[in-house]
Amino acid sequence: EGGGNMADSGEGDPGSLRGPGAGGLALLGLAPGAPSCPHGPALLFVKTSQGQEEGRRFYACSACRDRKDCNFFQWEDEKVSETRLAAREEYNRKHQPFFTHKQNVERYKNFVLLPLSKRRFCQECQQLLLPAEWEKHSDHQFLCDISTAQLKSPSQLLYPLENKKTNAQYLFADRSCQFLLNLIIDLGFRRVLSVGTPRLHEIIQSKASQEEDFRVRSLLLDIDFRYSQFYAEDEFCHYNMFNHYFFGGEAARETCRKFLYQDNGERVIMVTDPPFGGLVEALASSFKKLMAMWKETEKKGHNNQEMPIFWIFPYFFESRILEFFPSFSMMDYQVDYDNHALYKHGKTGRRQSPVRIFTNLTPSMIVLPEEEGYRFCAICQRYVSSGNQHCEICNSCTSKDGRRWKHCVLCKKCVKPSWFHCNNCNCCALQNHTCEKTDAGCFVCGKAGHKRSTCPSLSRP
């Protein structure tokens, strides 16, 4: 669902964030003392050219893949003058939200006291308006008579930030949202750290305010500051998940720490739904820091446990996620979205949603709804899609996309039903594919001598 975005493929000028590959970029991560842009500390990258030594290192914005959205760029070894540093600080300050979170909380208290006829929301500024501000927004489009129900469902009131390059803010469909919440409750969790999942957060908040015996609580961490208009400071933190940056500083970090503290056995789970253009290694680095924060909250220690996590991401990132989190496994459940044309449940073949749940919980604990076409595989000890047949040779339910996959004896693994073994490439591929040439260099790491499909950087640790 959530906020900012980064690229992970393609080529381009050093400032446009591109993933590893021939002529691509490699992410080096967060460096101590890194310069900042309006989105917090910048990330360190290095330009890589096939067969050549590492290029020059540079800093770029962590949250925007397109330089038109944030054009921050600085060579690592560049000497920046005092004047330019002062100008940058001023620029960063000017690009912060007009109101602070505290001010937004006060404004909300005043807003709910207004009669319905005086409750207005400016669609252009995406802001709740108090009567004294109407004139300033007189030539803007606004919504009138904002009800309490609308205030409890800000994700439907706010305009989704659908620009794929910067926000890619797709929101869970009700089916997926209800499934996730029911699963969280059935598993015995009472606190949900909602990282970039505003719709899950609001359904929890709404139920908590309406049902006396509803015990689940949620804290939303999101880069979309518009949510601060609707949630108190212990319900929302302005957060960038690509560089683990709390815009509210130590106070916001402390809010998160307090929330992660498990009192009276109230177990915590983190649910995150990052933009799919995001660099997996940047996300993994932030998630590990949140996991470490959770571990620190328990004086007795969590033994060797990890904070339970649901990471919602497309299935084709499986090897990348497992590289950083070997304890994770991928569930067959298809997550779908309200405002995404393709990511819808129940479609067939390539039209099915590719989005799955990756988790470090024991797979057999994740019960998937049989009425939606999932069944329990006694051998794999997990719920799988009904079309996902157990392969005797692999000894696993191998399908990733809901269709029945077939075993290739030459590849020694199951492949998509539309793939055929190519003797030129020595692997399975679509029938009308262009044969890969091993001397052209691997698309993933840029090195010669192997193809993308056999790249060692994709293999599990």
Q: How far apart are the first and last CA of the chain?
A: 29
Q: Are 259 and 219 in contact (CB under 8 A)?
A: yes
Task: Note whether residue 167 is domain-resident.
Answer: no
Which of these three, 61, 79, 95, is where a domain ends?
95
Task: Note whether residue 126 is domain-resident.
Answer: yes
Assess whether 416 and 274 both reside in one domain. no
Q: Is pLDDT of 320 > 60?
A: yes
Q: Is pLDDT of 22 > 60?
A: no
- 420 φ/ψ angles, rounded to the nearest 5 degrees: -135, 155
pLDDT of residue 37: 96
Query: Which of 18-32, 155-169, 220-234, 388-402 has maximum average pLDDT?
Result: 220-234
DSSP 269-338: EEEE---TTS-HHHHHHHHHHHHHHHHHH-TT--TT----EEEEEEGGGHHHHHHH-TT-EE--PPP-BT
Assess whether 373 and 256 both reside in one domain. yes
Task: Note whether residue 334 is domain-resident.
Answer: yes
Q: Are 375 and 386 in contact (CB under 8 A)?
A: yes
Q: Please give the residue range of the domain that contains residue 129.
A: 101-146
Assess whether 253 and 326 both reside in one domain. yes
pLDDT band at 266 (very low <50, low <70, confident <90, very high): confident
Q: Are 344 and 355 in contact (CB under 8 A)?
A: no
Assess whether 80 and 110 both reside in one domain. no
Assess whether 379 and 394 both reside in one domain. no
* Cα–Cα nearest to 27, from 271, 247, 280: 280
pTM of the model as a whole:
0.85
Distance (Å, whole) CA 313 – CA 317: 7
Q: Mean per-residue pLDDT for 193-217?
A: 93
**Residue 245: its H or E element:** strand 245-246
Q: Is pLDDT of 403 > 90?
A: no
Q: What is the pLDDT of residues 431-457, one digit of tens each?
A: 888 886 544 555 555 555 555 556 655
Task: Note whether residue 272 is domain-resident.
Answer: yes
**Residue 174: its H or E element:** helix 174-186
Assess whether 74 and 107 both reside in one domain. no
Task: Note whether residue 458 is domain-resident.
Answer: no
pLDDT of residue 454: 60
Residue type, 23: G
pLDDT band at 324 (very low <50, low <70, confident <90, very high): very high
Residues 6+ away with beta carbon under 8 Å from 39: 4, 61, 62, 63, 64, 70, 223, 240, 242, 243, 245
pLDDT of residue 252: 96
Which of these three, 353, 383, 413, is where a domain ends?
383
Q: What is the pLDDT of residues 332-359, one digit of tens each?
A: 999 988 755 555 555 444 467 889 999 9
Tokens of 403: 């269709």
pLDDT of residue 389: 86
Task: Note whether residue 44 is domain-resident.
Answer: yes
Q: Is pLDDT of 38 > 90?
A: yes
Q: Mean per-residue pLDDT for 127-135?
A: 94
Assess whether 129 and 191 both reside in one domain. no
DSSP 19-74: -SSTT-EEEEE--TT--EETTEEPEEEEE--TTS----EEEE-SS-SSTTT---EE
pLDDT of residue 299: 57
Distance (Å, whole) CA 307 – CA 136: 47
pLDDT band at 378 (very low <50, low <70, confident <90, very high): very high
Distance (Å, whole) CA 195 – CA 379: 34
pLDDT of residue 236: 98
Q: Mean per-residue pLDDT for 155-163?
A: 74
Q: Are 1 and 196 in contact (CB under 8 A)?
A: yes
Assess whether 314 and 252 both reside in one domain. yes
Measured in whole angstroms, the distance separating CA 83 from the mean position of its chain's CA atoms is: 37
Q: What is the CATH number of the domain that holds 204?
A: 3.40.50
Distance (Å, whole) CA 68 – CA 71: 6
- 220 φ/ψ angles, rounded to the nearest 5 degrees: -95, 125
pLDDT of residue 340: 53
Report the domain count for the chain. 4
Q: What is the pLDDT of residues 379-400, one digit of tens each?
A: 999 999 888 888 888 888 888 8
Task: Note whether residue 446 is domain-resident.
Answer: no
Which of these three, 95, 127, 157, is where a domain ends?
95
Q: Mean per-residue pLDDT for 244-262?
A: 93
Q: Mean per-residue pLDDT for 361-372?
A: 93
How confident is the prediction for the chain on average, in pLDDT? 84
Exposure letters 320-346 (e unless 16+ CB within 10 A, then b): bbbbebeebbbbbbbbbbbebeebbbe
Assess whether 111 and 182 both reside in one domain. no
- For residues 111, 114, 115, 117, the Cα torsion angle rounded to the nearest 10 degrees is -60
Distance (Å, whole) CA 410 – CA 428: 9
Assess whether 225 and 288 both reside in one domain. yes
Q: Mean per-residue pLDDT for 195-210?
A: 93
Q: What is the pLDDT of residues 87-96, one digit of tens each?
A: 999 999 999 9
pLDDT of residue 428: 92
Assess whether 379 and 391 both reside in one domain. no
Task: Note whether residue 368 is domain-resident.
Answer: yes
Assess whether 179 and 141 both reside in one domain. no
